[in-house]
Amino acid sequence: MQITLVHIGARSQRSGAKSAFETLTAIYVERIQPYHPTRTELFAAESDLLAWFARQHGRAPATLILADSRGRALTSEQFAAWLGARRDNGAQHLVFAIGPADGWSDAARTHAQLLLSFGAITLAHELARLVAAEQIYRACTILAGHPYHGGH
């Protein structure tokens, strides 16, 4: 199952030196690799993401997960169970998306299979992307019985 972590960001975020958040996100993306092939993508606008998502074809349609404070809040164990169910049901491609600064449009929400909340607080987009990468890694380790997740 392919995992893609996407981020909507301004062009200034698209070039130049890596931030500390990007470096840490890359570490977690690398840690996910033994469990699932994982990559990252950065788009300038929501419309670019939706156009790219529409081109993702496989035996099964890609699954879009949008980070949204109004979405469903899951514990790490619940998130792992959700991820494991997608894997076990033959999902080929999961796309986790951190949205634009002004939030997701109704059109984007209609494409999503899950609106996932990291809590009621507002996070900087780079921080939300890091949290998403860490939680995906944590979910993989929970499913594998790895000791990374100590249940706290």
In a domain, 149, yes or no: no
Nearest to 98, CA basis, from 133, 74, 72: 133
Q: How many residues are present in the chain?
A: 152
In a domain, 43, yes or no: yes
CATH of residue 93: 3.40.1280.10
CB 20 within 8 A of CB 127: no
Q: Cβ of 34: how many Cβ atoms within 10 Å?
A: 10
Amino acid at site 40: T
Nearest to 72, CA basis, from 104, 119, 106, 107: 119
Query: Per the structure, how many domains does the chain have?
Result: 1
Q: Give counts: helices (H), strands (E), the chain.
A: 5, 5
User: Per DSSP, which regions of the chain are E strands?
Assistant: 2-8, 38-43, 63-73, 93-98, 114-117
Give the domain extent around 122. 2-144
Q: For each of the chain's 152 residues, which pLDDT tens digit applies?
A: 999 999 998 654 445 567 899 999 999 999 999 999 999 999 999 999 999 999 998 888 899 999 998 899 999 999 999 999 999 999 999 999 999 988 999 999 999 999 999 998 888 889 999 999 999 999 999 999 999 987 66
Q: pTM for the complete prediction?
A: 0.92
In a domain, 152, yes or no: no
